[in-house]
Structure 1
Amino acid sequence: MKYTLQQLRVFSAIVRTESITKAAEELFLTQPGVSIQLKNFQDQFDIPLTEVIGRKLHITDFGREIGELAAQILLQVEEIDHRTSAYRGHLYGRLKIAVASTGKYVMPYFLSAFIKNNPAVELKMDVTNRATVINSLENNQADFGLVSILPDRPKVEEELLIENRLFLVGNAAASLEFKEKGEALLEQLPMIFREEGSATRQTMEQFLERNDITLKKRLELTSNEAVKQAVIAGLGYSVMPLIGIRNEIMDGDLKIIPLRQFPIRSSWRLIWLKGKRFSFLSSAYLDFIRLHKAEIIEEHFSWIDEYEGET
């Protein structure tokens, strides 16, 4: 056997993505280049690693076993690089983090100083929906995830970062008298929801269920930015995380509607698979978060306490 580390990287990516095209995109290689690497790797085995059925690539059972071993070998090689760099006095490698969409307003502040202080560290931050964050952890495509609601599965461990406050918001022209009315007023409003699977959507629905509120009208949009623009345009009202609408509130495009029981509170949390064996880099980043979390919150998020809502 004379397979190379590059062949292992390519085959591991093919097994993970079940696609030559996606593996090529992930590795920044051409599709013909990935196909050649796969052929050269396959030539060293007399048992098929892959098969094509109906123009779709499938990984054989044997191929999946080899893929798992390849992934383990690559992790060990990466750990050698990390430890060598650590002895030279700096960290090295790629830190992979999957972030639930609204978390894009949070996560960069918990990364900037770490990346700045460790210039040899490469960052891959995938901003996506909550379901994909969980899948990325399960498939070992991310070292950490950022979510505001813990998943039922898989089992994860967490490090709390900052509180997530959600308010009912309308556009600048909203003129209803809200203070004298309770949460049942929501039944009269055209409400805008995030898509199924969104943590904001889940938090909003749990609130409605606890308060026995049924909405008669609603729109559904697939991103926080789309919801924000729809509210600004006057299409309706929504429950939104404060962290993502600060500028619009300060500019007067959106305003918080004061109602009892608002804000709805949850927490942004860094999560990872329970029992995960950290690389040297991942362990160093978690240590950094635990050591500097309080000062990051004080420097970048103390403004949140200005918005308490109605009591």
Structure 2
Amino acid sequence: MNHTLHQLQVFLKIAQTQSITKAADALYLTQPAVSIQLKNFQDQFDIPLTAIIGRKLYLTDFGREIAQAAEKIVNQVDAINHKTLAYKGLLYGKLSLSVVSTGKYVMPYFLSGFLAAHAGIELKMDVTNKQRVLESLAQNEVDFALVSILPQHLAVDRIELMPNKLYLVGGADSGQPVTEQAPSVLKTLPLIYREAGSGTRYVMETFIADHQVMVRKKLELTSNEAVKQAIMAGLGYSIMPLIGIRNEVQHGDLTIIPVTGLPLQTSWNLIWLKDRPFSPVAQAFMDYLTTHKEQIIRDRFAGYERY
């Protein structure tokens, strides 16, 4: 038998996710590549490691034993790498985050300096919808999550990174007056919504409900990028976070429409499960944020406060 470390890592991830597709996503590989590695690994055994039942992948009893052995080997290799880098005075390990979709405009700037200072750290950052972000956190799959609305059903601690401001936005040729308007203006506009479960949608719907405005929902789209492009194409208006549109506003591609009660303001919060012990990497990242947060905001988000 000639098991490679890569085969062990792939099989372990398949065992953990019980899915070729999820394993491929987690390992940043294609599904065919993962399937080939699984086949090559399976060919070294006379006993099946997996079984497909009703189009779902399951481990056999033998497969579970091999997965446990693979986990020990992979962990030992990680420990060797850790000891090697630690001996050189370097920080080594994984930092995992789950980030709501709009957070992709925020989180990289709070990571870049930290990762540049610690080359031995591997980053895994999943950018997804709010529901999946909170699921990852609740299931203890990530060190941190970035959200703009704090969860009510989870006990978490947090560090506030920066404000999150949301404005009514139209295209460059919206024709809307530049003077401040009442919230009732929303009932005259075709509105573009994010998908159900989105934090941006929640804030937008709360504002509309609080002002008892009957509105026309024109479109529902699954990302802020899609909403932004639809607005620029003249398909409607939306209440959007400034962080994702500031370049388009500065370049004149989008227009902020003044409305009484706007901007809505929440905060970008990095959260983690209360009482969850930090790994050395997670603790180092928290120390980095505590020390450098204000400087990052000044350097990377200059002019944000003027809106």
Tell me the TM-score range normalised by the shorter chain. 0.7 to 0.9
Tell which deviates more after alignment, 54-63 or 90-99. 54-63
The code of the aligned residue for 1:210 comes to: D
Report the counterpart of residue 298 of structure 1 in structure 2: 298
Deviation at 1:185, TM superposition (A): 1.3
Which one-letter code corresponds to 2:35 in the other structure?
Q
Deviation at 1:167, TM superposition (A): 0.4
In the alignment, the residues of structure 2 paired with residue 69 and residue 290 of structure 1 have an alpha-carbon distance, to the nearest angstrom, of 39
- Displacement of 1:179: 3.2
Counterpart CA distance in 1 for 2:206 and 2:46 is 51
What's the % identity of the aligned pairs?
51
- Where structure 2 has 5 or more consecutive residues not aligned to the other structure, the ranges are none
- Which residue matches 1:85? 85
What CA distance in whole angstroms lies between the structure 1 residues aligned with 2:191 and 2:46?
55
Count matched residues: 302
- In structure 2, what is the Cα distance between the partners aligned to 1:301 and 1:289? 15
Paired residues of 2:193 and 2:217 also in contact (CA < 8 A): no
Report how far residue 161 of structure 1 moved. Answer: 0.3
Is the CA contact 2:42–2:49 (under 8 Å) kept in the aligned structure 1? no
How large is the Cα RMSD of the aligned pairs?
A: 3.1
Kindly indicate whether the alpha-carbon contact (under 8 Å) linking 2:20 and 2:34 is maintained by their aligned counterparts in 1: no
Structure 1 segments unaligned to the other structure (5+ residues) = none
Equivalents in 1 of 2:18, 2:198: separation in Å?
A: 26
1:30 alignment partner, one of 13, 20, 34: 34
Matches within 5 A, 1:1-311: 9-24=9-24, 26-27=26-27, 28=29, 30-37=34-41, 51-59=51-59, 78=78, 81-82=81-82, 85-177=85-177, 179=179, 181-307=181-307
Report the alpha carbon displacement of residue 84 of structure 1 after superposing the two structures with TM.
Answer: 5.1
Task: Give the drift of 1:36.
Answer: 4.7
Kindly indicate whether the alpha-carbon contact (under 8 Å) linking 1:20 and 1:34 is maintained by their aligned counterparts in 2: no
Give, in whole Å, the separation in 2 of the partners of 1:39 and 1:276.
40
- Are the aligned partners of 2:176 and 2:257 in contact in 1 as well (CA < 8 Å)? no
Deviations 1:254-302, CA, capped at 9 Å, x for gaps = 1111111110000111122223232211211111111111111111123
TM-score, structure 1 as length reference: 0.83
TM score, norm. by length of structure 2 = 0.84
Classify 1:169/1:41 alpha carbon distance in 2 versus 1 (closer, same or farther; 3 Å). farther
Greater CA drift, 77-86 or 291-300 = 77-86
Q: 1:208 is matched by which residue type in structure 2?
A: I
